[in-house]
């Protein structure tokens, strides 16, 4: 019971790093001795101290760690990355017990630290209950590709616009806020050519996080890019996946990547190579259909606006041929002002 309570405290610490840790996981730590919390810490930013070291730095004196228990939401690291291995410090300071929330799925670490700590006589308990903190991190190492979320706003009759070639504003301010949070939680956002041209989105997170998601645009001929579009006037890494090279002078943050064809599988392989752990697909209808057809959708978020569009408006997913049906489980339905949000996870 007590272990559970302190690990939950560590999980609350971990959440404070949301949006700041980039491709590192959210991790929190709590140091306890004689049922007293001596220090708390979390991984604040990509490249900075890990949670265990942050918590240790909040002890009055490092000697307090001797004989104490450290609760940490993820197995401590055992490799030299941007910071030295945390496991060394845990051993050096004489912690008696380490309670972790999960084994690190990163093969550089996975299980190795637990083994080393045990060899040094440290008691290790894995409660295996903190995976929900880092769904994309866990997914990426398990499946060798990013967690893919399809997201759209639609009317009650399943349409995402009123008329071909036009943008239709469907949802309200609460949904806008929610979609901003969604962008913050993803490391890349993908849109198709028509959405770029018609909607002219910025694809930014308005709170200007330290590590904004990569903006990825699929466009046939990058020579047709209109540099007056909003996406080229804002900062943040931007990738144009195209079939033809662009000879124009582009802003430094815009990278053109040429391939003869960009299938969903190739796009995902490209992002995997960049270490991208989560991808949000933000339209339009044809890009959605391509990913559905490839079976490359793991989660779905549909915002449903209380409107009927009728006519020839584009459905939320529309493509060629017949796709295999994908099964989902609806995890949550919530009300955002007058809109509904449906969150569903793929059933494999």
Ligand X SMILES: NC(=O)c1ccc[n+]([C@@H]2O[C@H](COP(=O)([O-])OP(=O)(O)OC[C@H]3O[C@@H](n4cnc5c(N)ncnc54)[C@H](OP(=O)(O)O)[C@@H]3O)[C@@H](O)[C@H]2O)c1
What residues make contact with ligand X under the rule CB under 6 A? 152-153, 160-161, 166-167, 170, 191-195, 198-199, 218-220, 262, 282-287, 290, 314
Rounded to whole angstroms, the Cα distance separating 315 from 160 reads 6
Nearer residue to ligand X within complex by CB, 27 or 344: 344
Q: Is 195 a known ligand-binding residue? A: yes
Distance of CA 289 to the CA centre of its chain: 22
Closest approach, Cβ 326 to ligand X, in A, equals 18
Do residues 56 and 92 touch, judged by C-beta distance below 8 A? Answer: no
Nearer residue to ligand X within complex by CB, 42 or 262: 262
Closest approach, Cβ 203 to ligand X, in A, equals 11
Rounded to whole angstroms, the Cα distance separating 226 from 205 reads 22
Sign of CA dihedral 321, 322, 327, 329: positive
Nearer residue to ligand X within complex by CB, 161 or 246: 161
Q: Is 21 a known ligand-binding residue? A: no
Rounded to whole angstroms, the Cα distance separating 155 from 310 reads 9
Closest approach, Cβ 201 to ligand X, in A, equals 8
Q: Is 223 a known ligand-binding residue? A: no
Specify the residue for token string 């990738």. 239
- Catalytic pick among 8, 48, 52, 260: 52
Which residues share a beta bridge with 29? 41, 72
Q: What are phi and psi of 63, to 5 degrees?
A: -65, -25
Q: Is 247 a known ligand-binding residue? A: no
Q: Is 55 a known ligand-binding residue? A: no
Rounded to whole angstroms, the Cα distance separating 92 from 90 reads 6
* Annotation says 324 is catalytic: no
Q: Hey, what are 185's tokens?
A: 């939680």
Closest approach, Cβ 182 to ligand X, in A, equals 12
Nearer residue to ligand X within complex by CB, 70 or 216: 216
Which residues share a beta bridge with 241? 218, 257
Binding region: 50, 77, 86, 153, 183, 195, 199, 203, 206, 282
Binding region for NADP(+): 153, 195, 199
Catalytic residues: 52
């Amino acid at each position: 019971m007590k272990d559970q309570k302190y690990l939950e405290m560590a999980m609350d610490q971990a959440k404070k790093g949301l949006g700041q840790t980039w491709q590192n996981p959210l991790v929190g730590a709590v140091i306890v001795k004689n049922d007293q919390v001596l220090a708390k810490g979390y991984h604040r930013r990509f490249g900075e101290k890990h949670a265990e070291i942050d918590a240790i730095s909040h002890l009055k004196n490092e000697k307090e760690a001797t004989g104490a228990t450290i609760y940490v939401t993820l197995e401590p690291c055992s490799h030299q990355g941007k910071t030295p291995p945390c496991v060394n410090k845990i051993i050096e300071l004489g912690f008696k017990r380490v309670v972790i929330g999960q084994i690190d799925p990163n093969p550089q670490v996975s299980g190795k630290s637990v083994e080393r700590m045990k060899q040094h006589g440290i008691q290790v308990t894995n409660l295996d209950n903190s995976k929900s903190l880092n769904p994309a991190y866990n997914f990426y190492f398990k499946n060798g590709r990013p967690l893919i979320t399809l997201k759209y706003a639609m009317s009650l009759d399943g349409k995402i616009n009123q008329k071909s070639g036009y943008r239709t504003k469907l949802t309200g301010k609460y949904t806008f806020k929610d979609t901003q949070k969604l962008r913050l939680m993803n490391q890349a956002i993908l849109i198709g050519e028509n959405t770029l041209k018609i909607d002219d989105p910025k694809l930014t997170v308005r709170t200007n996080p330290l590590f904004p998601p990569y903006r990825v645009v699929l466009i046939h001929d990058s020579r047709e890019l209109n540099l007056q579009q909003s996406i080229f006037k804002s900062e943040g890494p931007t990738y144009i996946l195209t079939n033809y090279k662009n000879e124009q002078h582009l802003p430094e943050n815009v990278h053109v990547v040429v391939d003869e064809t960009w299938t969903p599988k190739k796009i995902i392989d490209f992002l995997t190579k960049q270490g991208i752990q989560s991808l949000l697909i933000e339209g339009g209808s044809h890009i959605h259909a391509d990913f559905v057809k490839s079976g490359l959708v793991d989660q779905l978020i549909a915002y449903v606006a209380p409107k009927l569009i009728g006519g020839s408006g584009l459905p939320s997913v529309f493509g060629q041929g017949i796709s295999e049906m994908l099964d989902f489980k609806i995890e949550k339905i919530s009300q955002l002002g007058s809109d509904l949000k449906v969150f569903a996870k793929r059933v494999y």
